[in-house]
Structure 1
Amino acid sequence: MNLPPRDGDGYLQDMNQWTPEIGKAMAEADGFEMTDEKWDQVLKAREFYDDNQVVPAIRKFAAYVGKPNKEMFDLWQTGPMKPITKYGGLPKPTGCV
């Protein structure tokens, strides 16, 4: 699959080009393993963004999906919002990632 243009951090240059297939192909291209649970969180982040037009902070997002912060970090092995927004075709999170 040909991926749409991405910026230096791997985010889509045009978030309107995102599809679930592109999100999964981006993760694969980056060597990032996406489990069903991770993918579910990516889709929840898109829902949150569609409703609020903002990328949530991790605390707010963890509450939104009903998971403790620590569980989110354990699942993603990194600041969760960066891969969630990247593979979800959302804008880069601001502040703590």
Structure 2
Amino acid sequence: MTTATYAGTHVILNDEGFFTNPAEWTEAMAPEIARALGISELTDRHWQVIRFMRNEYLTKGTAPSVRALGKTSGVSIKELYQLFPKGPAKTAAMIAGIPKPIGCI
């Protein structure tokens, strides 16, 4: 476990860098997390994916896989990889402050 500070709030992260308590996340934290992951600016399309990820997690208890994202988020798999080049589901989940999706390496 490690700690990080985003938008002036200290949060606990697991060994892979995911929030241990997703309820601590705020939208103000997302741009800072994204920059730390190499994404300089969050566009409306990024936000569409981030909000979709959070909503799926909050309603279903798990984050969607890349395949599910591509089918149900309104953003194609090709575009997901353009938005989140280091792995769409994993990176978007980190920025969204939710646990790593099942099946992500």
| TM category, shorter | 0.7 to 0.9
Match of 2:103 in 1: 95
Percent identity, aligned pairs only, is 27
Q: 1:84 to 1:52 in 2, by over 3 A?
A: same
Give the structure-2-normalised TM-score. Answer: 0.76
Give the structure-1-normalised TM-score. Answer: 0.81
Match of 1:55 in 2: 63
Q: What 5-or-longer segments of structure 1 have no aligned partner?
A: none
Deviation at 1:30, TM superposition (A): 4.1
Q: Is the 8 A contact 1:3 1:22 kept in 2?
A: no
Residue correspondence of structure 1 range 11-30 to structure 2 within 5 A? 11-30=18-37
Higher helix share: 1
Q: 1:68 to 1:55 in 2, by over 3 A?
A: same
Q: When the two structures are aligned, how many residues end up with a matched partner?
A: 97
Higher strand share: 2
Q: What 5-or-longer segments of structure 2 have no aligned partner?
A: 1-7
